[in-house]
Chain A
Amino acid sequence: GSEAEYVANDPDTCLMCHRDDSPLSSGHIMHGAHALTGNSRSPFAPGQQGCQSCHGPASAHMSINAEGVRPPPPVMFGSDYDPEPQNTVCLSCHTADKGHHWSGSAHEFAQLSCSSCHTVHQTEDSALGFHGKTGLCLDCHTRERAEILHPSTHPLRDGQMSCIDCHAPHGGPGPADLIAHTLNDQCYLCHAEKRGPFLWEHAPVAEDCTQCHKPHGSNHRDLLQARTPWLCQQCHLAPFHPSTALSGSGLPQESASANLLGRDCTNCHTQVHGSNHPSGAGLTR
């Protein structure tokens, strides 16, 4: 807007109504990161427009219109408003650090706004930092909320890990907005021992960890997609023990099958992610 449309004496004028005890209190922003005047890009730095840096020129907002109501300022934040103008305001400053992958990301395509997660009027934005982010994500990602309660999971339930350890909420280069470019690269950040390359590779391992694992939660050890040995038998049906029909007849009171008890297939084929032993073609060394 033109200079004439901006209200003078921002933020004092704004805070006359939006004081702490008002329903739309906004004063806490003056104690947060956006209020630092030494940063020339801060909304309240010299030469900027204060509250109107983000909300737009507010001269119309200062009066009652013909319908007897006070029109809102041009840019309003929250789920009741069009996300695009909101996000444009935020990205005008935050593109360099957060915005490269925002356009086209899952959250952008779902029409979320920055304010869906962030609360800039608070002294501390609760979405920043490591703590508490899992709960913020799980408010919407309800299936994952249930999955992290499954018997085999990453340590998300009590906060030792957080969703943002793997996913970039502002968009990422990998599938499902992962931080890394491929799913396997994401897993290798913590599990680099499985990267190899090995002399004897297990074909699906180098291709996609989720061929066998479910990262959010599983009923089976090591976050496996299905119970072993049947998971293994979905791809290995060779003569003798790999093709054996396994059932309760392999329990201790009957035949006590090595293919069913303990760690079943991995009692022997222990190096399922690959082996570097010259005699380890069967992934037993």
Chain B
Amino acid sequence: NSSATSGELEVGLGYLDSSAYRYGQYTGLIDEGVYGLLDFSLAARAAPGFGDTGYWHLWGQDLGLGYRALGLEAGQQGTQRLRLDYRKTPRYFTDTAQTPMLGAGSNRLNLPAGWQSNDATTAGMSSLDEHLSQVNLWQERHTLTLDYRRFLNDNWTLTADFRRDNLQGVRALGGVSGATGGNSRALLLPAPIDYTTHAAELALAYHSARYYWGFGYYGSFFSNEHQALSWPTPFAAHPQWAVGTGYPEGENRMALEPDNQAHQLRLHAGYHFAGTTRLHMDANLGRQRQNADFLPYTINSALEVSEPLPRDSLQARVDDNRVNLRLTSRPARAFNLVARINYRDRDNRTPVDVYQRVRGDAVAQQSYLDGRINRPYSLRETKASTDLGWRFSRYLRLEAGYVYNDTRRDYSEVTQTREHSIKLGARSTRFDSLALSGHYQYQQRRADEYVGNRPLMTTHVPGSVGAEDFENHPLLRKYYLTDRDRHQWHLRGDWFAWQNVNLGAAIAWHRDHYPDTVFGLTDSRMTSYTLDAGYTPVENLRLTAFVNRDSYHNEQAGRSFRGSVPADAFDPERNWYVDAKDRFDTLGVSLDWEQLQQQFDALQNLGRLDVRLELSHSRATGTIVTETASALTSASLPELSTRLERVSLEARYHLSVRSSLRLALEHERFSSHDYALDGVAPDAVASVLLLGQTSPRYSAIWSTLAWRYRF
């Protein structure tokens, strides 16, 4: 036969013993009950020696579940290939949220009939309890990709890729009415998600032994089914709001993500010099556009809007151009050299105008002098780096590297930052049974003068703010803009103690220190410890285990100040300090044992039995300690914690060479505690109507029995 066809089909049933929304967050196994299971794989390929090159492979995975995947690959080896892939990936966030809003998931939300709001607080919502109903927060992503590649001849290749991504669901989105932090009133809305992105790439490439080049076009087109979300104000009017903006007349509308496009012309080329030296270049000429129609300043007809919008749509345009150059060489057999230059220019050419806002659909339109100017951020980044590997001896390899990074921004507190980074490393295999490696990196970032009120000045109409005015405290340094000293250590050792045992250990230590920062993130540290073990006493038995502890520690500082009390900003007794630690302990054990029956006399008469056992444990804790100077007070916060434990056992009994039965049991326990959710009723906060959701906790057993047939 000139072709060989093969395949397998697995059908079965699964049972989930209890409903657990988070357990099935990515699989769709959220409700107690029975689920059908179907996996299949069909393939045909030209048999060796018959001169044909055609093949195809069709497969499906988890077709009975919320997550599912289908794929097809077909082609002629060396000539062309087509891949078609579909995935549906759900994400279930919570089923414990409650809201009085009707129309969850649509772009118009309404209050129920009989809604009562006696004042501008949640306490005044006297009919809240009777109107609360459950709303699930979820999303489903449908992704379809098609990749086609054709080798036109030995040198030319044509590729055509297409991707369609659709995301639908309901998410929590804050909706606020009001103009300032003092009079704002908000609620968490069950907002719609209905995004579709189409992307396509067409490219032609030439390849020869000495050089190659190619060019192509990539386009990505995002569209949002809902360009806006509107809802009635559930609070009675705040005294500082305009007449007609509170319940029952008040209306609100926010803009959801606008349709946008991104286009790129792509060029790559490479040249193989004599010996081992190669030069590679990637260049992208990109443009992003967004020109969705603007919503009006406000939806509230009760508010007077005398000044029109400066334009009907943004006509946003960002030119995003990049060039990457990479030179690689082995000037001597023991040397390995990589040198790179990366250049990126994000030139935001969006028109700049003054927008006289109607803040929070609740107060009169701003005057011209109170208007805000949009800031189209641009960025130019130039990076040069080199890495050198030197095999000092058969057993020792030394590595070194240097990176220089120059970043220039506009509308920002800092116009230019420069980073220098050195890397040193060594890998040793001096002993046959022991491999060691160590790497150290030091990175120093230095920023030009930090002008903390530059964003304030550039977003206000000239003359409306003074040169010494500030919004953020003058001593604040944003962590991504300011001076930083970064140290990173990585050490790893692997010991192949015996022929069938390997042990490994790794330590990583990172520290970011911000020497110029008084307020903001001042210090950040991470340590990571990992131990690995593997045991393979016989070919068909493998036992692996790992244990890991990661710790993150952030220190930051601030000063609480009121705009109405100018002295606050200079009063150190109003300082506060936060010490935040996250710690993760994870452990995993897995055992793969094929043909287990051979090891036990009592099972010798059975058919083949393969067993897989997996155990994982993950515990995460977060502690946040706030300390304050004498003018302020603070109290302790409960620890954040998450605990996940999973044990799974899978046994496959081979009824014959072709058919087998699989029995799998998986028990997962999850618990979490979050002070921002647990015990926080929807009306717990006077100014925000929350969803009242709780941290997820569950224990679920998922059992499956399936029959597989291979042919």
Contacts and interface: CB of A to CB of B under 8 A. Distances in A.
Interface size range of chain B in the complex: 35 or more
A281 interface: yes
Nearest to A268: B176
Contacts of A147: 550, 584
B104 interface: no
Interface size range of chain A in the complex: 35 or more
A236 to B, nearest CB: 7
A280 B176 CA distance: 11
Interface in A24-45: 30-31, 33, 35-42, 44
B546 A193 contact: no
B46 A38 contact: yes
A14 B382 CA distance: 54
A261 B680 contact: yes
B638 to A, nearest CB: 7
Nearest to A271: B254
Nearest to B389: A109
Nearest to B437: A110
Residue from A149, A254, A279 with most neighbouring chain B CB atoms (10 Å): A279
B554 interface: yes
Contacts of A150: 584, 618, 620
B634 A97 contact: no
A111 B290 contact: no
Interface string A118-139: 0000000000001100000000
B377 A203 contact: yes
B457 interface: no
Interface string B148-181: 0101000001000001010000001111100001
B653 interface: no
B295 A277 contact: yes
B18 to A, nearest CB: 19
A261 B556 contact: no
Contact of A252 (B85, B376, B684, B691): B684
B690 interface: yes
Contacts of B644: 149, 151
A241 B428 CA distance: 54
Contact of A195 (B181, B188, B288, B548): B288
Given A146-B586, A230-B556, A261-B685, A38 B52 contact: yes
Contacts of B375: 201, 203
Nearest to B252: A285
Nearest to A155: B26
Interface in A214-246: 219-220, 226-227, 230, 233-246
B595 to A, nearest CB: 16
A7 interface: no
A154 B242 CA distance: 44
A75 interface: no
Interface of A: 30-31, 33, 35-42, 44, 84, 95-97, 100-101, 103-104, 109, 111, 130-131, 142-143, 145-147, 149-151, 155, 158, 160-161, 173, 181-182, 188-190, 192-201, 203-204, 206-208, 211, 219-220, 226-227, 230, 233-249, 251-252, 254, 256-258, 260-264, 266-271, 273, 275-282, 284-285
9 contacts: A161-B89, A189-B199, A234-B479, A248-B635, A251-B637, A252-B681, A270-B174, A278-B295, A279-B361
Given A248-B638, A249-B634, A284-B174, 16 more contacts: A35-B49, A146-B548, A146-B618, A196-B258, A197-B289, A197-B376, A199-B355, A200-B374, A201-B376, A211-B480, A261-B675, A264-B676, A279-B357, A279-B359, A280-B254, A281-B372
